[in-house]
């Protein structure tokens, strides 16, 4: 850990070990050119329940505009690539048929693995849930990423209700909870569930000792009640560090610390509203207590928009501090039944949308399998939150003169086409340039390419991992690179 932290200046205090973002004043003279190398990152962002056809860009690949549910990305269009006609049905069916695999959990489980979780479970002879190792975890274990950051990877997300795991297994019983709730698998039997409590995520990033590992829960509860910041314990360290900085870097540090305090307060407020660690500091919440106890719509204490905004701020903080370079972000569980009464209805065409009367229904039955306009409005809201995140990433410049977004590959999309459950025509965006390795600002209409080819391309052409294979294609088609997306 010390070797990792030595690459960044730390603010230390009681329970705090916060890495500062890159600043020119803090680069050791002995580092030379190595001191201005900016990290390249990977971030899959998962959209549940597919997307309506309002996602598809109107026009041709040479003269295109964003589909109406992608309108929030208008200002970032030059840094977005829309990828059409990816399929993952070949992971399930020998004839490559994309319309016969209806289950939500089974498809979401294959989004980052490109294997059929049922087949893995059968091969292992286990009654427990299983899956392939996901692409983000192959990256985290590879020398390109391994050992470069304090956390090999992070899994974060928002919450939904427990009915996302009602898909029956062969032979009976429900067995898709893990595949609906985690797109990241460390091993074939170890899913990495998303952390949905923002204060838990903040504490991970800031190096805070959680209750049970040395922190006094009573003192922590008092600090939260008095709206004190964990940074108060690192004031001496901050003062000493600030004295070493240029005037410009002092301003950057002040802006960063202000953002950290704001993020901490934001995370604390959301955590309290959802019954997280801010409410019960002595006992960290489990997935069951956070995602199954009824957080399925706006309440007096819970606001989904605030939750998403807090997670966005935390993701930016983690990337800016180089705590990790791989983050998977699930906007919700697959087959989400969250009631989007926080979103106003809209009426859509291929290129525009206009306000309509009322608020949106429950996501799965009322949206995905209900009115296409409600489905579009819910998708538009989720897309807007991802666009907000990418805009924040694009506003922060790094050592190489590019933004965090420019140095990141964001893979944003879902596991199924839309209300038809088909696993072809997958809604997919690539955002950011991965340090110049990805083409941007294009609409790429492929000829029915397996999703595993995209992951294979990301690992090899973008991150230089020299992988020879990935996932499964039951049609027997050889794995190949998608050169259209590579700069």
Please give the Cα distance from 48 to 335 (Å, whole number).
6
* pLDDT given for residue 101 in this prediction: 58
Please give the Cα distance from 435 to 41 (Å, whole number).
9
Structure token pair of residue 430: 């690539």
Q: What is the mean pLDDT of residues 427-443?
A: 98
Q: Examine the pLDDT at 181 and tell me if it is beyond 50.
A: yes
Hey, which residues does 431 pair with through a beta bridge?
80, 410
Q: Which helix (H) or strand (E) holds 90?
A: none
Task: Enter the pTM of the model.
Answer: 0.92
Please give the Cα distance from 279 to 302 (Å, whole number).
13
Place of tokens 């795991």: 165
Instruction: List helix spans (H) across 160-246.
Output: 177-181, 198-206, 217-225, 235-242
Q: What is the mean pLDDT of residues 129-157?
A: 95
Q: State whether residue 59 is helix, strand or coil.
A: strand
> β-strands 185-187, 41-46: how paired?
unpaired
Q: Examine the pLDDT at 377 and tell me if it is beyond 70.
A: yes
Q: Examine the pLDDT at 401 and tell me if it is beyond 70.
A: yes
Model confidence at 166, pLDDT cuts 50, 70, 90, reads very low
Structure token pair of residue 125: 């002879």
Q: What is the mean pLDDT of residues 22-31?
A: 72
**Cα 481 from chain centroid (whole Å):** 24
Q: What is the mean pLDDT of residues 58-80?
A: 96
* pLDDT given for residue 225 in this prediction: 63
pLDDT in tens, 206-264: 875 444 444 445 555 666 666 678 788 788 888 889 898 999 999 989 999 999 999 99
Q: Which residues, other chains included, contact 451 with Cβ-Cβ below 8 Å and sequence gap of 6+?
A: 86, 87, 88, 91, 111, 114, 426, 471
> β-strands 154-157, 327-330: how paired?
parallel
- Residue 467: closest CA among 124, 38, 94, 141: 141
User: What letter does residue 195 receive in the DSSP assignment?
Assistant: B
Q: Examine the pLDDT at 369 and tell me if it is beyond 50.
A: yes
Number of Cβ within a 10 Å radius of residue 193: 16
Domains for the chain: give ranges and CATH numbers: 38-197+285-485 (3.40.720.10)
């Amino acid at each position: 850990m010390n070797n990792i932290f030595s690459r960044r200046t730390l603010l230390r205090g009681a329970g705090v070990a916060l890495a500062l973002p890159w600043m020119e004043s803090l680069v050791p003279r002995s580092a030379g050119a190595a001191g201005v190398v900016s990290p390249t990152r990977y971030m899959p962002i998962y959209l549940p329940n597919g997307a309506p056809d309002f996602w598809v860009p109107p026009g041709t690949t040479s003269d295109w505009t964003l589909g109406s549910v992608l309108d929030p990305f208008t200002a970032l269009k030059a840094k977005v690539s829309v990828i059409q006609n990816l399929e993952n049905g070949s992971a399930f069916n020998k004839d490559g048929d994309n319309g016969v695999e209806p289950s939500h959990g089974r498809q979401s489980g294959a989004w980052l693995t490109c294997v059929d979780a049922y087949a893995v479970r059968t091969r292992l002879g286990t009654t427990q849930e299983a899956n392939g190792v996901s692409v983000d975890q192959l990256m985290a274990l590879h020398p390109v990423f391994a050992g470069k950051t304090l956390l090999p990877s992070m899994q974060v997300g928002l919450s939904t209700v427990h009915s996302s795991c009602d898909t029956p297994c062969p032979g009976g019983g429900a067995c898709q909870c893990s595949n609906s709730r985690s797109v990241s698998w460390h091993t074939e039997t170890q899913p990495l569930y998303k952390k949905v409590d923002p204060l838990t995520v903040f504490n991970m990033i800031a190096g805070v000792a959680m209750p049970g590992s040395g922190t006094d829960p009573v003192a922590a509860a008092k600090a939260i009640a008095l709206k004190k910041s964990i940074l108060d314990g690192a004031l001496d360290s901050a003062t000493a560090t600030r004295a070493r900085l240029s005037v410009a870097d002092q301003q950057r540090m002040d802006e960063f610390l202000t953002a950290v305090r704001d993020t901490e307060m934001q995370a604390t407020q959301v955590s309290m509203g959802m019954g997280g660690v801010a409410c019960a500091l002595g006992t960290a919440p489990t997935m069951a207590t956070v995602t199954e106890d009824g957080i399925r719509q706006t309440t007096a204490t819970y606001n989904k928009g605030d939750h998403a905004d807090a997670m966005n701020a935390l993701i930016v903080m983690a990337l800016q501090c180089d705590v990790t370079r791989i983050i998977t972000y699930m906007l919700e569980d697959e087959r989400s039944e969250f009631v989007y009464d926080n979103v106003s209805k809209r009426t859509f065409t291929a290129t525009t949308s206009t306000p309509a009367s009322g608020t949106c229904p429950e996501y799965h039955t009322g949206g995905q399998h209900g009115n296409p306009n409600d489905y579009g409005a819910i998708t538009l809201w989720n897309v807007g939150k991802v666009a907000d995140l990418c805009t924040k990433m694009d506003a922060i410049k790094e050592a190489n003169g590019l933004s965090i977004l420019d140095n990141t590959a964001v893979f944003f999309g879902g596991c199924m086409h839309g209300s038809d459950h088909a696993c072809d025509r997958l809604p997919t965006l690539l955002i950011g340039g991965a340090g110049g390795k990805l083409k941007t600002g294009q609409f790429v209409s492929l000829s029915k390419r397996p999703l595993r080819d995209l992951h294979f391309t990301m690992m090899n052409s973008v991150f230089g991992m020299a992988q020879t294979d990935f996932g499964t294609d039951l049609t027997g088609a050889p794995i190949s690179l998608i050169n259209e997306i590579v700069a």
